[in-house]
Structure 1
Amino acid sequence: MRSGFALAAAIVFLAGTPASAAPVVARAQAGPVSDRVIGALSHRLFPLLDAIGTDPGGVAQLKAKPGVAAMLATRAERRAACTDDLGCIAQALVWTQSETAVLAAAVPEGTSSADDGSAAQARREIEGINTVLRTYGLGQLPRYPQIDGAGPIDPMEVRTRLQAADWLSRTPRARSIQALDTSMDFALALLDVSDRTDAIGFDPLMAGLNAAPVKRARSLDWTRWRYSAMIVTGVGPETPDAALSPLGKYHIRLAAERYARGDIAVIIVTGGRAHPRATRFTEAEQMRSALIDRYGVPADAIVVEPYARHTTTNLRNATRLLVALGAPLDKDAVIVCNPGQSETIASAAFAQRNVAELGYAPGQVGRRVSPTELEFRPSPLSLRVDPRDPLDP
């Protein structure tokens, strides 16, 4: 380390160096930088708003729509009135129903591929922003507090996360809608600083462990099979460091036995990194390993769905994978699980839960072939992206 005298001498020497002797560095005007993590999360959670941000002129066009500029000005004033009060800022960024209606009406049709149109998708994405702000910024409990949300954290850490999210949301990011409103980037930053970027944890999903079954699926004649897929649902463990729950092991035995009959095209194992909170194990990966190692099921017959955190999304996400594999949706799949879960899936209460949590049925649950098997006809409605569940939209 230099002494204070040596450092001072060096400063004096440099100060006395003629300008002509100093190197000349040409500086280009720097633009906003890209953030690969936030960019991927933005595209996954908020595809419509993300598309507007990545379209040159998209923000300006939206601002020019009737009522939008005035609505945004009101939001900006509400945010400015908070000065440095971080809780107030997070609350000020929450969209009201009237503000949501104005923006949703201004989004051009065709901006989203959602089956119910761009306005409906815009409303879902704005509600998703509100969900993240309330859950990760304002401490509101999520629907499933045992596994979702930030969990119990120190109040000083809460403040630190809010401060970082505020600064990040106002630091330019390439291909964002910050020029329209900072709430989306504030929400994305909250997820990032809370280490809850679960929604992109396994992208690209059709590569890696799924590369071999995807390749095999391209050559399948789906008409040859009784069922397009066997959907093996998860039962997450509640014991720390448990890789697979006791009932999960039972599901795998059932799946291996059912696959051996030879009338199912692919196996979809579905279950995310949810139980218990902050587990390092992904249930679908553990089920895949058990099927291969314990029962000799071919790896290219098993598709991993590693995001689902609930039985509702087990079925929804399995449907999305069937679409990605090119499987026909007018062909039945079969759900394999323990008798208790099977009875639940067949119940009217489960149908109501799908409508309450997803807004639709991810498919039609058919006849119960046995206590551990139900037929299932997948629905294309499952393709809707819904960031109101920001860990698995």
Structure 2
Amino acid sequence: MIKLLFPVLFVFLCCSVYGQTPANQHLLITSGNWVQDKNYYLLTLLEQDKAANDLLKNDTELAAITQKKLSDLQASITDCKDALCFTGKLKFADDEIKAISARLTALYAPGNALDKLVKTQLIPSGTYILYKQSTPQALLVKAWEQDAAGINYTIGVYAEGNKPHYPMVDSISYNVNANRYATLMYDCSVTLMGDVGKTRLFFEPSLQAALLYLQINERNDPANYEPMVSTINKPAVERIKTIKWANYPYSNILVPGAGPDNLTSALSAEGMLRCRLAAQQFRLGQAPFIMVSGGSVHPYKTKFNEAEEMKRYLTAALHIPESVIIMEPHARHTTTNMRNCVREIIRYGIPVNKPGIVVTDKSQTDAILLMAPRCEKELGYVPYKLGKHISDTEVEYYPVFEALQINPTEPLDPR
């Protein structure tokens, strides 16, 4: 039986979110580990759904794969001498991914546990919406292959030291060339064996390894501030239900963050100026909400969060009520400022057919106007549609449902 629902976290759907007008509500499932759920949502569903869980655990071919992963992990503890030996045992090999894909295809049948999970949870979540043209059976396989690739990517960056997309802010925390690094990887494998040694699910050893590596790197960013709907965004979410949207030309004023260039400043000058521009537009009645977007990004390993500091500045210095401000505290780039705010629009029940307005400085406005190719390259799609270019500091945008897609190569801000 599926357990632990995201409190009041909505994805708006009409039977399926794919290509439909938003109508009813769908609750996302949680394992209690937000980093896992946001990165590898299919695996969370397979953990939490008892019928699907039992189907996988009782399959002899998947059981053999599980035992092989556990045996490799145990053998690495006694046999491995270098760090890459430990991590290599925990990644999914190409032939393993293919074998599991074939087995999921064979196990899938109309009306069975996997079919119900895909149709009632996976598809309505929108988290694998880029595969919307696939059959439910094929979508299950593609979601699995995405999660497996995402796990391998996380291990590659946060255990092996591979370069992420943005090395200056997202890199591993340790020197992989130091003598003690192999010892750290050994210690991780010993700890992991104690955690998963009795598992019967084929993906658990690799999944828990990826999560452990993120944890020792202090990279639990996706979990920060969650559950936002009942904490930092609660006043604004409650106010959404009272808004008469026809009274405003825009649904929201989006303010992308700008991190400072040092570890002691909480908010950059650019961030302050963007907030002031947004406050001006709010006081003109342009929109009922200001959305501040930005994670803990600049400089590397900063303890300050762009969205939180902008909210603090808006309330304390500019006297904007807290119930007006929606925080989006996870975005690490301008592309994901846009994407993540679209996600909150969809999940919080803000009208998707009403434009928002991005308010920022001229240089970033110019960048947003030309950002579609960058989105295609980094995300695989453009998570918004631009409207009118109103001024040097203002541009309209519209939500796009593809924004709900998990990004498997951005483990610090996947969903």
Q: TM-score range by the shorter chain?
A: 0.7 to 0.9
The answer as to whether partners of 2:63 and 2:201 remain within 8 angstroms in 1 is no
**Residue 41 of structure 1: aligned partner:** 35
**Residue 412 of structure 2: aligned partner:** 391
- 2:281 is aligned, of 246, 255, 258, to 258
CA-to-partner distance for each residue in 1:211-238, whole Å, 9 max, x for gaps? 1111111211223321111110111112
CA-to-partner distance for each residue in 1:226-260, whole Å, 9 max, x for gaps? 11111101111121211111211221121111111
> 1:65 Cα deviation (Å)?
6.3
**Residue 191 of structure 2: aligned partner:** 168
The answer as to whether partners of 1:161 and 1:194 remain within 8 angstroms in 2 is no
> 1:180 Cα deviation (Å)?
4.5
State the AA in 1 paired with 2:45.
A
- Looking at structure 1, the residues matched to 37 and 377 of structure 2 have their Cα atoms a distance apart, in angstroms, of 25
- 2:208 is aligned, of 164, 174, 185, to 185
| Residue 137 in structure 1 maps to residue 134 in structure 2 | no
The answer as to whether partners of 2:266 and 2:304 remain within 8 angstroms in 1 is yes
Change (3 A) 1:316 1:74: same
CA RMSD of aligned residues (A): 2.7
State the AA in 2 paired with 1:329.
V
- Unaligned 5+ segments in structure 1 are 1-35
- 2:316 is aligned, of 271, 293, 315, to 293
> 1:48 Cα deviation (Å)?
0.9
> 1:384 Cα deviation (Å)?
1.7
The SS at the match of 1:189 is helix
The SS at the match of 2:50 is coil
The answer as to whether partners of 1:100 and 1:123 remain within 8 angstroms in 2 is yes
The answer as to whether partners of 1:333 and 1:377 remain within 8 angstroms in 2 is yes
Change (3 A) 1:177 1:345: farther
The SS at the match of 1:247 is helix
- Looking at structure 1, the residues matched to 34 and 257 of structure 2 have their Cα atoms a distance apart, in angstroms, of 26
The answer as to whether partners of 1:45 and 1:386 remain within 8 angstroms in 2 is yes
The SS at the match of 1:206 is helix
The answer as to whether partners of 1:165 and 1:193 remain within 8 angstroms in 2 is no
Taking structure 1 as the reference length, the TM-score comes to 0.82
- Unaligned 5+ segments in structure 2 are 1-29, 106-113, 132-138
> 1:177 Cα deviation (Å)?
6.6
Percent of aligned positions that are identical: 29
- Looking at structure 1, the residues matched to 35 and 182 of structure 2 have their Cα atoms a distance apart, in angstroms, of 23
Change (3 A) 1:74 1:215: same
Change (3 A) 1:54 1:168: farther
- Looking at structure 2, the residues matched to 38 and 219 of structure 1 have their Cα atoms a distance apart, in angstroms, of 31
State the AA in 2 paired with 1:123.
E
**Residue 25 of structure 1: aligned partner:** none
State the AA in 2 paired with 1:132.
T
> 1:305 Cα deviation (Å)?
0.7
The answer as to whether partners of 2:388 and 2:396 remain within 8 angstroms in 1 is yes
Q: How many pairs align?
A: 356
**Residue 89 of structure 2: aligned partner:** 92
- 1:229 is aligned, of 252, 259, 278, to 252
The answer as to whether partners of 2:153 and 2:409 remain within 8 angstroms in 1 is yes
> 1:353 Cα deviation (Å)?
1.4
- Looking at structure 2, the residues matched to 76 and 173 of structure 1 have their Cα atoms a distance apart, in angstroms, of 8
- Looking at structure 2, the residues matched to 177 and 54 of structure 1 have their Cα atoms a distance apart, in angstroms, of 14
> 1:75 Cα deviation (Å)?
5.3
> 1:374 Cα deviation (Å)?
0.8
The SS at the match of 1:186 is helix
- Looking at structure 1, the residues matched to 211 and 321 of structure 2 have their Cα atoms a distance apart, in angstroms, of 39
Change (3 A) 1:274 1:123: same
CA-to-partner distance for each residue in 1:102-161, whole Å, 9 max, x for gaps? 434517450623322333322221111011111111111111111102234372553344
**Residue 346 of structure 1: aligned partner:** 369
Change (3 A) 1:290 1:389: same
> 1:77 Cα deviation (Å)?
6.5
The SS at the match of 1:236 is coil
- 2:171 is aligned, of 136, 149, 160, to 149
**Residue 384 of structure 2: aligned partner:** 363
- Looking at structure 1, the residues matched to 98 and 378 of structure 2 have their Cα atoms a distance apart, in angstroms, of 21
State the AA in 2 paired with 1:150.
I
State the AA in 2 paired with 1:170.
M
- Looking at structure 2, the residues matched to 133 and 38 of structure 1 have their Cα atoms a distance apart, in angstroms, of 21
- Looking at structure 2, the residues matched to 136 and 334 of structure 1 have their Cα atoms a distance apart, in angstroms, of 36
Taking structure 2 as the reference length, the TM-score comes to 0.78
**Residue 31 of structure 1: aligned partner:** none
- 2:146 is aligned, of 104, 114, 124, to 124
> 1:390 Cα deviation (Å)?
1.0
**Match runs of 1:19-58 below 5 Å:** 39-56=33-50, 58=52
- 2:394 is aligned, of 367, 373, 377, to 373
The SS at the match of 2:251 is strand
| Residue 199 in structure 1 maps to residue 219 in structure 2 | no
The answer as to whether partners of 1:161 and 1:193 remain within 8 angstroms in 2 is no
**Residue 217 of structure 1: aligned partner:** 240
State the AA in 2 paired with 1:56.
K
- Looking at structure 1, the residues matched to 355 and 329 of structure 2 have their Cα atoms a distance apart, in angstroms, of 22
